[in-house]
Amino acid sequence: MQLLPLLASLAGGLLIGAAALALLALSGRVAGVSGIIGGLLPPRRGDLDWRLAYLVGMLGGGLLLNAWVGLPTTVPVSRTALIVSGLLVGFGTRLGNGCTSGHGVCGLGRGSPRSFAAVVTFMGVAFVTVFVTRHILGGI
């Protein structure tokens, strides 16, 4: 195991936690990306600007990353898999009230039993999904 990627992952994780904590301390809000997007579909009056600002901030961070180190441009699966995956991620995170950030970082960080159950479920199912697609189906 190389040390540099390991330290980068740890530092990235600390930064993610700090940013989510800052939103809680400053605005009192949960930094759950699926919830922040989902709250715009449909948009509600008086609840629009901070959501848009957060998402624009994320895109701005993406632009900086792309300029500094480059962002990945390909996903190593077929287009059909990408579409099915996107639909499931979108519908599933809304039905389950959260994704890796809302349940994973903020929910686990607050010791929420619902988030713990959600994280165990989505990680477990994701492990099984990758096992099936890679080692039983031989790639999608």
Partner 1 sequence: MRSILIAFGCGLVFALGLGLSGLVDPARVLAFLDLTGDWEPNLMLVLGGAVAVYALGARQVLTWPRPWDGLRFQLPTRRSLDQRLLLGAALFGVGWGLAGLCPGPALVDLAAGSADIVLFVTAMLSGMALFSVFNRFAPER
Q: Is 139 in the site for partner 1 (CB under 8 A)?
A: no
One residue of 44, 45, 95, 137 binding partner 1 per CB under 8 A: 95
Q: Which of residues 20-39 bind partner 1 (CB under 8 A)?
A: 20-31, 33-34, 37-38
| Smallest separation (angstroms) from partner 1 to the CB of 133 | 7
Q: Give the end-to-end CA distance of the chain in Å, rounded to a whole number.
A: 28
Q: Which of residues 65-84 bind partner 1 (CB under 8 A)?
A: 65-66, 69-77, 79, 81-84
One residue of 44, 46, 118, 138 binding partner 1 per CB under 8 A: 118
C-alpha angle 126-75-10 in degrees, rounded to nearest 5: 65
Compute CA distances 50 → 25, 36, 54, whole Å.
15, 9, 6
| Smallest separation (angstroms) from partner 1 to the CB of 67 | 9
- Site track 39-58 with partner 1 (rule: CB under 8 A), x = hit: --xx------xxx-xxxxxx
Neighbours of 31 (CB within 10 A): 20
Q: How many residues bind partner 1 (CB under 8 A)?
A: 110
User: Exposure of 98 by Cβ count < 10 A (0-12 exposed, 13-18 middle, 19+ buried)?
Assistant: buried
SS3 98: coil
